[in-house]
Amino acid sequence: MTYLIDNLQYANWSEKIFRQMREGGVDAVHVTIAYHESFREMVLQLEAWNRRFEDHADLIMRGTQASDIDAARATGRTAIFFGFQNPSPIEDDIGLIEIVHQLGVRFMQLTYNNQSLLATGCYEEDDTGLTRFGKQAVAEMNRVGLVVDMSHSGDRSTREAIDASARPIAITHANPSWWHPARRNFGDDVLRALVARGGMLGFSVYPHHLKEGSDCSLESFCQMVAEAADRYGAENLGIGTDLCQDQPDSIVEWMRVGRWSKQIDYGEGSAAAPGFPPMPDWFEDNRHFGNIRAGLTSVGLSETEVDGIMGDNWYRFYAQNFTPQQA
């Protein structure tokens, strides 16, 4: 059985998008429920998702373990998994790591661009690595089954997280910097260390992470994936589109700035174009995963390799890493 899993989206959720997931045959999506939210504010996001599951019970269902993807497929639905792009919901309380896992959260980034209480983000000038809290948080995340995500972290912090974690970690949505040197993309040394410990890289389709941005061709993207498969092994690769479909441009301000600054930080973008960049024409929504599958086949990847990258590898990763560590 082959799966289609997108391991990162932050869309403006609606029935339209959920129906597009079904049209595209998407079995599971990891959705962001926190950027800068406190614990209580994150709980409000869970409440909103509970209403969506109730209102759209024919299209989506809550996922907390890999087998939920099979249950979703059997009933013609998409399984939704929760994650944080920032550790802000655990505040300064290590006990909240187990609580958020009990609430259904399965991924947590240790940073979102900035220095956090746990590690250093990729936009800081000086990456000092994991903090004391960060090292203990990683151990607790390993224990309960909350996956360490380093998608917005600095290189040193990422390498230290890989080394500190007893379980494989993930970079859920980024690309190799040897293809496109965006600050959010990662170098060969980091990615080799990631996969050496069984970690996963999810390829991003967000234009700031793509060579030629919104004009990136499908062929260029898929050739990059094929090169990554040669370097790191296709079994360590997946998709994490970073799709922000139908979001108003004002959401970029929340993502980049939250409440920590009075200034507008456009990240990889330009001050002249502060909003969301147009998606490449070969991937505009959940109905277009077939384009990626066809593109990967056209650049010479085998059927098994393509199946793995499109979802089977994430399914295996979910099955191995979402449950509490065995004593």
Residues 26-50 have pLDDT tens digits of 999 999 999 999 999 999 999 999 9
> What is the band of 271 on the pLDDT scale with cuts at 50, 70, 90?
very low
Q: Where are the domains of the chain?
A: 5-321
pLDDT above 80: residue 235: yes
Please report, rounded to a whole number, the percentage of residues in the chain having pLDDT higher than 90. 91
Residues 195-213 have pLDDT tens digits of 999 999 999 999 999 999 9
CATH number belonging to domain 5-321: 3.20.20.140
Top pLDDT among 1 and 269 is at 1
What are the CA-CA distances from residue 275 to residues 203, 251, 254, 302 (Å)? Answer: 22, 8, 11, 38
Work out the number of other CB atoms within 10 angstroms of the CB of residue 300.
Answer: 11
Average pLDDT rounded to a whole number, residues 166-184:
97
Parallel, antiparallel or unpaired: strands 200-203 and 60-62: unpaired
Q: Is the dihedral of CA 289, 314, 194, 34 positive or negative?
A: positive
> What is the band of 132 on the pLDDT scale with cuts at 50, 70, 90?
very high
CA distance 203 to 182: 13
Q: Which of 109, 66, 75, 56 is nearest to 48 (CA)?
A: 56
Can you count the helices (H) and strands (E) in the chain? 12, 9
Average pLDDT rounded to a whole number, residues 297-309:
98
Top pLDDT among 327 and 132 is at 132
What pLDDT was estimated at residue 262? 85
> What is the band of 86 on the pLDDT scale with cuts at 50, 70, 90?
very high
Average pLDDT over the chain reads 96
pLDDT above 70: residue 135: yes
CA distance 111 to 107: 12
What dihedral do alpha carbons 104, 107, 111, 116 form, nearest 10°?
A: 40
pTM score above 0.75:
yes
What pLDDT was estimated at residue 265? 67
pLDDT above 90: residue 178: yes
E strand map for the chain: 5-9, 28-34, 60-62, 78-84, 105-109, 147-149, 170-171, 200-203, 237-239
Average pLDDT rounded to a whole number, residues 139-151:
98
Q: Which of 207, 218, 226, 224 is nearest to 291 (CA)?
A: 218
> What is the band of 5 on the pLDDT scale with cuts at 50, 70, 90?
very high
